[in-house]
Amino acid sequence: MMMFEAQSFYIPKDNPLKPYGEDAHFINKAAQVIGVADGVGGWAKKGIDAGEYARELMRHAENAVYDRRPGTTYPSTILQEAAHRTEAPGSSTACIVSLTADVLMAANVGDSGFAVIRKGKTCYKSPVQQHAFNHPYQLGNSAACDAPEKADNVSVRVEVGDVVVVATDGLFDNLHPKEIEDIVDACMDWSRLPEDLARTAYLKSGGFGHRPRGPFAVEARAELLGLAEKTCKGKYRDDFKYAEHKSKYGRNITTGGKKDDITVVVAHIVPSHFNNLSNLC
């Protein structure tokens, strides 16, 4: 039998008006369930703090966990119950993960997610759900939001020694998989691993032009070049001039990170009788 030992670290985006940021999360060790949520910042234009939605969503999710018998905490059901009970305005992405025996189950909506790292290499990464670039699936009470039944539901077999990283997009938009693997591989103190990942992502999010391309910038550049392909090709009969113009689009957004709230939960898969938190890395 297996269980996870989990720790978390959270860095809210620097905004005096939202000291709690827009992310939320919980860890229920007894039920072996983790949840993260990322309130969608676009609601701020309407004077709405989406962090309130994310926090209420995670509160209802954890309450749904308490209401269940051990071994019946299915992430999809938890997420659906939580979403249907959440009344706050705004919207949020979300990822719920649970461990039963050697099976990690997850329900994911949007661009929060999780990765399983085994012996220093990523053996599974949850796919992003998005309608278009930077427009993730999201839960909410608006008609434009997505139903929790649209969550991506997956099951992954894990082994003792695996490291499961559950996080909001503040981590995955700023660190490439290899960068996450390297930080996990270099870990000397398991209790500090979530903080090490979050702080590295924070440093890498320093702004466009200040570092090599992060994952978000790579995707943004591809999106911009695709837009150039659609809008500019008909304007240039000369292929060289077209290529030159297209390259200018790509150079406009080629480096840097994405400033965002960063939530990282790290779960280490251990034997169920394990009770020593030291030297896990």
Task: Check whether residue 6 and residue 126 sit in a common domain.
Answer: yes
Sign of CA dihedral 97, 172, 197, 37: negative
Q: What is the mean predicted confidence (pLDDT) over 146-161?
A: 98
Two tokens, residue 90: 């705004």
Does any domain span residue 280?
Answer: no
What local confidence, expressed as pLDDT, does residue 72 receive? 73
Residue 178 domain-assigned?
A: no
Q: What percent of the chain stands above pLDDT 90? A: 70
DSSP 42: G
CA gyration radius for the chain?
A: 20
Of the listed ranges 210-214, 224-228, 274-278, the one predicted with least confidence: 224-228
On whether residue 201 sits in a domain, the answer given is no
* Number of domains the chain contains: 2
For residue 88, what are the CA distances in angstroms to 50, 65, 119, 140, 275? Answer: 8, 20, 41, 8, 39
Burial class (CB in 10 A: 0-12, 13-18, 19+), 218: middle
Q: Which of 142, 15, 127 is nearest to 91 (CA)?
A: 142
pLDDT value, residue 18? 84
Residues 106 and 147 in one domain: yes
pLDDT at residue 130 above 90? yes
Provide the residue count of the chain: 281
Q: Do 158 and 71 belong together in one domain?
A: yes
Judgement on whether residues 21 and 106 belong to the same structural domain of the protein: yes
**SS3 state of residue 186:** coil
Structural domain contains residue 110 = yes
For 112-128, write each residue's pLDDT tens digit.
999 999 999 999 999 99
- 197 in a structural domain: no
Domain check: are 156 and 239 in the same one? no
Report yes or no: 37 and 23 within 8 Å, Cβ to Cβ: yes
Specify whether 25 is located in the same domain as 156.
yes
Residue 118 placed within a domain? yes
H or E segment to which residue 167 belongs: strand 163-167
The pLDDT of residue 261 is 96
Helix axes 193-204, 177-185, angle to 10 degrees: 140
pLDDT digits (tens, 9 = 90+) for 255-269: 557 889 999 999 999
pLDDT in tens, 33-92: 999 999 999 999 999 999 999 999 999 999 999 988 766 789 999 999 999 999 999 999
Average pLDDT, the chain: 86
Task: Decide which of 230 and 149 is more confident.
Answer: 149
Q: Are residues 120 and 234 in the same domain?
A: no
Task: Give the mean pLDDT of 90-108.
Answer: 98
Query: Is 80 exceeded by the pLDDT of residue 240?
Result: no
Q: Which amino acid is at 54?
A: A
At 183 the pLDDT is: 98
Tokens 């394990």 sit at which residue?
A: 274
Lowest mean pLDDT among 65-74, 166-175, 192-201: 65-74
Question: Is the pLDDT at 237 greater than 70, yes or no?
Answer: no
> Is the domain of 55 the same as that of 94?
yes
Element (DSSP H or E) covering residue 82:
helix 75-85
CATH (domain of 97) = 3.60.40.10
Which sign, positive or negative, has the C-alpha torsion 232, 250, 252, 175? positive
Residue 247 and residue 264 in one domain: no
In this prediction the pTM is: 0.84
DSSP lists the bridge partners of residue 36 as 25, 95
Q: Are residues 74 and 57 in the same domain?
A: yes
- Residue 205 placed within a domain: no
Residue 279 is encoded by which pair of tokens?
């030297």
Residue 231 is predicted with a pLDDT of 56
What range defines the domain where residue 117 resides? Answer: 2-168+260-271
Q: Is residue 195 part of a domain?
A: no
